[in-house]
Chains A and B, each alone.
Chain A
Amino acid sequence: MASSLVKLRKIVKTYGAIKVLDGIDLDIGNDEFVVVLGPSGSGKTTILRMIGGFTQPSSGEIEFDGMSLNGVPINKRPFNTVFQDYALFPHMTVADNVGFGLRVRGVASAQITAEAANALSLVELKGFADRYPAQLSGGQRQRVALARAIICKPRLILLDEPLAALDASLRRQMQTFLKDLQREIKTSFLFITHDQEEAITMADRIVIVDRGVICQTATPRQMYYQPDNLLVATFFGDNNLIRGTAAEVSEKWVVVETPFGTCRVQAPETLWATVKDPLCIAVRPENVTLVAADAAPLKGRVVSVEFTGPISVIKVESHSDPAAVLNVKCLSAAKGMELAIGGDVGISWQSEDAWPLHP
């Protein structure tokens, strides 16, 4: 992110006594695909509505290219929105819907027709120009809404849960499509969703919002492997959270005593912990490998082995604390170890795959 296109600073939104957003700071870069992820009621849509101008912040500043957007009306903002219900004009053809933004600007009608055709071919809807929205399927309406937004060449496109109404296979198709489109037209996207998988597959950067505050802003990879807190750690897929205490703290490493034994994990730049502080380590099940019991520093007892096709899930419990259970995912085809239920097993992971968290 070289320079930011849109900046949100200390945005607060209250409805009566209810604080919907509480101090949101967010930067959206040029050509960046930002996904705002959060459960319903977290305030994520309010963020989008404020950038679009549909709601005004109670306090705080929204900037675009260094200029304040506070008080700028909806129709003067250089952004376009794809609404959750698509909001296509039912009395206009697809071509008229798509060309609306240009007609507003007084563009000549021959040029509008040409550009609308161009935008429709971008969203793979050639030949649909003369249809009415009621004659289209959900996915097609979605793409008309998209074409209508991109034709104005906005600096930022706001998408409010645009895929929520589509079925699973169409949704996956649209995810890839949107991502490719965004690369092609080189425009920033701000995409709102409550679907973690969607966020991880599409985003350049994910912003997790919960109860009106931002929990973490990071790339999908960082979010997945180096979460800021326990909430984020359990938000995407399975994760192992092992409780322990810090035994040694250095600039690069922390040595942690866990119920499975003592291990070394990488220390983040902002490590708060000192010796004897309680810690939590997050390790993804697929990053754990099982080794022979005698040589490994970490040990446990096999509780169950579950075959799920290409991957088997093995549960390993601690000798000292039966409440501490570790999930391990390994390829079912992996050879070299016969796991007997109740047998001892050694546990190992790369120290950079383990991540310390505040418990």
Chain B
Amino acid sequence: MNVNPDKSERIVRQFGRPLFYCFVFAVPLLLIAAPFASFLAISVGEVKGSDIVMSLTLKNFVRIVEDPLYFQVVWKTISLCLGVSIVTTCLGYPIAYLIAISTHSIRYALICIFSIPLLMNYVIKIYAMRSILGGSGVLNKFLEIIGISGLSNLFVFNLNAVFLVLASILLPFAIFPIFIALERIPNSLLHAAADLGASRFFTFTRIILPLSMPGVAVAFSFTFVLAIGDFITPQMVGGPTGFTLGRVIYSQFGLAFNWPFGAALSIVLMTIVMVTIALTVFVTPRRAR
């Protein structure tokens, strides 16, 4: 084989690059943009009999805004997911901080403990939570023992249950972005702050917290996006009152066979997700990024 390396390199450069770029851009185009476009197309259509008719109507979107039932679901879902994000981020921060300040084996043990849930099947986790929250579950038994009764329906098959299950399942997604942000803060900055006389608390509020804000933003948007798109959790623990946007979309596609309305709801969901991500990017202080 006496292929001139310079020559083969030049060939790769001439033809390989464009080919490579085509591939790189074609995959997301095919897998993201195309389905997105088809959703947009379907969302302006309507159902006639058992057929989807492609027309250019906005009545699906109008229905979401005007029908109090759907409008309420959208708002309820947004506030539920904001709550989940706030709780997971606030709980995740101290855990991430604990991992970041611990050393050697303790650190690895903590990382392991908090990432194990990521390796488990989603449905199994929900069932596990159900057995904790259920009417005769661990939580209610415990409450009975300490003498609090009459709460047995508080944590099962309603929005509270959805909230608790989502929060516990999404916690690792809040911990790790914050941990990475904390990990990126050079030790010398903390030394410098102490050297200038700062107490631990002062160093935390003026140095560590602002510099870890990008991680907090990622954790917040991550958990929000994952929570708002979820339909399995509300389906399994939500009961009759735990209706969320994801569940409504699911029912439009799977049960009601109203694809255009489902697509319109999906577009709304996607818009909420994109606005959230854009907001977090916008809100995060630029110097800390």
The count of residues in chain A whose C-beta lies closer than 8 Å to any C-beta of chain B is: 27
Instruction: Confirm or deny: A252 has a beta carbon within 8 angstroms of a beta carbon on chain B.
Output: no
Question: Given A85-B186, A90-B288, A104-B202, are A80 and B195 also a contact pair (CB < 8 Å)?
Answer: yes
Q: Are B287 and A134 in contact (CB under 8 A)?
A: yes
Question: Given A91-B211, A91-B285, A132-B287, are A83 and B197 also a contact pair (CB < 8 Å)?
Answer: no
Q: CA separation between A297 and B202, bound complex, in Å?
A: 73
Instruction: Confirm or deny: B189 has a beta carbon within 8 angstroms of a beta carbon on chain A.
Output: yes
Question: Given A81-B192, A83-B192, A85-B186, are A90 and B211 also a contact pair (CB < 8 Å)?
Answer: yes
Instruction: Confirm or deny: A54 has a beta carbon within 8 angstroms of a beta carbon on chain B.
Output: yes
Instruction: Confirm or deny: B193 has a beta carbon within 8 angstroms of a beta carbon on chain A.
Output: yes
Q: How far is the CB of A255 from chain B (nearest CB, A)?
A: 55
Q: Are A152 and B186 in contact (CB under 8 A)?
A: no
Instruction: Confirm or deny: B210 has a beta carbon within 8 angstroms of a beta carbon on chain A.
Output: yes
Q: How far is the CB of A89 from chain B (nearest CB, A)?
A: 6
Instruction: Confirm or deny: A244 has a beta carbon within 8 angstroms of a beta carbon on chain B.
Output: no
Pick the most buried of A54, A79, A100, A152: most chain B CB atoms within 10 A of its CB. A100
Consensus secondary structure, chain B interface:
helix
Q: Are B285 and A83 in contact (CB under 8 A)?
A: no
Residues in A with CB closer than 8 Å to B198 are 75, 100, 104
Q: How far is the CB of A158 from chain B (nearest CB, A)?
A: 8
Binary contact track A176-216/B, C-beta < 8 Å → 1, others 0: 00000000000000000000000000000000000000000
Within 8 A of A (CB), among B188-233: 188-189, 191-199, 202, 206-207, 210-211
Q: How far is the CB of A142 from chain B (nearest CB, A)?
A: 14
Residues in A with CB closer than 8 Å to B287 are 90-92, 132, 134
Q: Are B186 and A80 in contact (CB under 8 A)?
A: no
CB closest chain-A residue, reference B195 = A81
Q: CA separation between A54 and B197, bound complex, in Å?
A: 13
Residues in B with CB closer than 8 Å to A132 are 287
Question: Given A89-B207, A91-B285, A91-B288, are A152 and B197 also a contact pair (CB < 8 Å)?
Answer: yes
Q: Residue B197 contacts which of A52, A75, A85, A91 (CB distance < 8 angstroms)?
A: A75
Q: How far is the CB of A281 from chain B (nearest CB, A)?
A: 46
Residues in B with CB closer than 8 Å to A74 are 191, 194-195
Instruction: Confirm or deny: A101 has a beta carbon within 8 angstroms of a beta carbon on chain B.
Output: yes
Q: How far is the CB of A86 from chain B (nearest CB, A)?
A: 8
Instruction: Confirm or deny: A105 has a beta carbon within 8 angstroms of a beta carbon on chain B.
Output: yes
Q: Are A101 and B207 in contact (CB under 8 A)?
A: no
Q: CA separation between A85 and B199, bound complex, in Å?
A: 22
Q: CA separation between A294 and B188, bound complex, in Å?
A: 66
Q: CA separation between A132 and B186, bound complex, in Å?
A: 17
Residues in B with CB closer than 8 Å to A76 are 197
Q: How far is the CB of B138 from chain A (nearest CB, A)?
A: 44
Q: How far is the CB of A55 from chain B (nearest CB, A)?
A: 11
Instruction: Confirm or deny: A73 has a beta carbon within 8 angstroms of a beta carbon on chain B.
Output: yes
Question: Given A74-B191, A91-B210, A132-B287, are A104 and B186 also a contact pair (CB < 8 Å)?
Answer: no
Q: CA separation between A80 and B194, bound complex, in Å?
A: 10
Q: Residue A104 contacts which of B188, B196, B285, B288 (CB distance < 8 angstroms)?
A: B196
Q: CA separation between A89 and B206, bound complex, in Å?
A: 10
Q: How far is the CB of A211 from chain B (nearest CB, A)?
A: 26
CB closest chain-A residue, reference B193 = A100
Residues in B with CB closer than 8 Å to A75 are 194-199
Q: CA separation between A79 and B202, bound complex, in Å?
A: 19
CB closest chain-A residue, reference B194 = A74
CB closest chain-B residue, reference A49 = B191
Residues in B with CB closer than 8 Å to A44 are none
CB closest chain-A residue, reference B188 = A87
Within 8 A of A (CB), among B254-289: 285, 287-288
Q: Are A83 and B191 in contact (CB under 8 A)?
A: yes
Q: Residue B194 contacts which of A73, A85, A88, A91 (CB distance < 8 angstroms)?
A: A73
Instruction: Confirm or deny: A284 has a beta carbon within 8 angstroms of a beta carbon on chain B.
Output: no
Chain B interface residues toward A at CB < 8 A? 186, 188-189, 191-199, 202, 206-207, 210-211, 285, 287-288
Task: Give 9 A-B pairs besides A87-B186, A87-B188 with Cβ atoms closer than 8 angstroms.
Answer: A53-B194, A81-B195, A83-B191, A89-B193, A90-B288, A104-B202, A105-B197, A152-B196, A152-B197
A-B contact pairs, 20 of them (CB 8 A): A52-B191, A53-B194, A74-B194, A75-B196, A75-B199, A79-B195, A83-B191, A85-B186, A85-B188, A87-B188, A87-B191, A92-B287, A100-B193, A100-B196, A101-B196, A101-B197, A104-B199, A104-B202, A134-B287, A152-B197
Chain A interface residues toward B at CB < 8 A? 52-54, 73-76, 79-81, 83, 85, 87-92, 100-101, 103-105, 132, 134, 148, 152
